[in-house]
């Protein structure tokens, strides 16, 4: 990780869960991390904690609604002005709404497409532009995917979400191919977890908190820190090593 010291990372959805854990881990290792979310209160608190702990890096909170392209472009413009550009992008922000294919609301489907697919694509394009402008040839783009992007489980409330994560699987491999065609050494990776104990299920089942809690009580789940460790592993790989996808489940998880 020494080569990343002082370099700039963007972590989307950095206020809670996996994003917060990843942001903390990168700051611990000396990176300058721009953490964005729709609300930055929790990121500001995390930034203060990192500073108090004496971590060598710094966490910079940035308010951004990733469903709004103009806000994303404005964020990249601000990063360029203040920090030159982005060297590592962690496309972590994602959401699921309980909208089955036969009865779901279009609004919920569109929300998932906007954040899980469009925001990932827009951020990726802008990060690549940032790297090319500065002749950065060792950058890394990491998409936080899901095991739902590799198999469809028989739960109607996550079928559309699964479709958006299948898109992330295709986008990551397509990105890898385009980066090779462009003759760069910029790398693309996705990390696909099974059940991670975060607030994710409580947002998916926001009308049924007991069901959400049961999701995490049935087995010993992955922790957000496990995901942060996977990100560090990917970034620590030698420059000639391209890690395409890490699929990781709790040992006790079946599907």
Q: Which of 122, 163, 149 is nearest to 36 (CA)?
A: 122
DSSP state of 196: B
Task: Give strand ranges (E) for 162-225.
Answer: 187-193
Cα separation, 168 vs 10, in Å, equals: 18
Query: Taking Cα atoms as reference points, which of 71, 59, 74 lies closest to residue 10?
Result: 59
Catalytic (active site) residue 216: no
- 3-state DSSP assignment of residue 229: helix
Contact 119, 170 (CB under 8 A): no
Helix/strand/coil for 83: helix
> Phi first, then psi: what are they for 33, rounded to 5°?
-110, 120
Q: Using H for helix, E for strand and C for coil, what is the string for 24-52? A: HHHHHCCCEEEEEECCCHHHHHHHHHHHH
Active-site entry in 161, 166, 216, 233 = 161
User: Which residues are known to be catalytic?
Assistant: 161
């Amino acid at each position: 990780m020494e080569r990343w010291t002082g370099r700039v990372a963007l972590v989307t959805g950095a206020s809670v869960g996996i994003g917060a854990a990843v942001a903390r881990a990168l700051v611990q290792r000396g990176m300058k991390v721009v953490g964005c979310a729709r609300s930055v209160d929790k990121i500001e608190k995390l930034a203060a904690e990192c500073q108090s702990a004496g971590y060598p890096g710094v966490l910079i909170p940035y308010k951004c609604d990733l469903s709004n392209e103009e806000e994303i472009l404005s964020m990249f413009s601000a990063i360029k002005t203040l920090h030159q550009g982005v060297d590592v992008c962690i496309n972590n922000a994602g959401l699921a709404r309980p909208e089955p294919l036969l009865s779901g609301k279009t609004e919920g489907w569109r929300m998932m497409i906007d954040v899980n697919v469009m925001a990932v694509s827009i951020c990726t394009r802008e990060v690549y532009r940032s790297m090319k402008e500065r002749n950065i040839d060792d950058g890394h783009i990491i998409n936080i995917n899901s095991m739902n992007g590799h198999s469809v489980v028989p739960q109607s409330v996550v079928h559309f979400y699964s479709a958006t994560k299948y898109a992330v699987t295709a986008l990551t491999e397509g990105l890898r191919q385009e980066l090779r065609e462009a003759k760069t050494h910029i790398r693309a990776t996705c990390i696909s977890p099974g059940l991670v104990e975060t607030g994710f299920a409580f947002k998916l089942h926001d009308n049924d908190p007991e069901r959400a809690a049961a999701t995490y009580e049935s087995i010993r789940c992955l922790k957000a820190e496990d995901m942060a460790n996977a990100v560090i592993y990917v970034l620590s790989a030698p420059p000639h090593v391209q890690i395409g996808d890490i699929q990781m489940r709790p040992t006790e998880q079946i599907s």
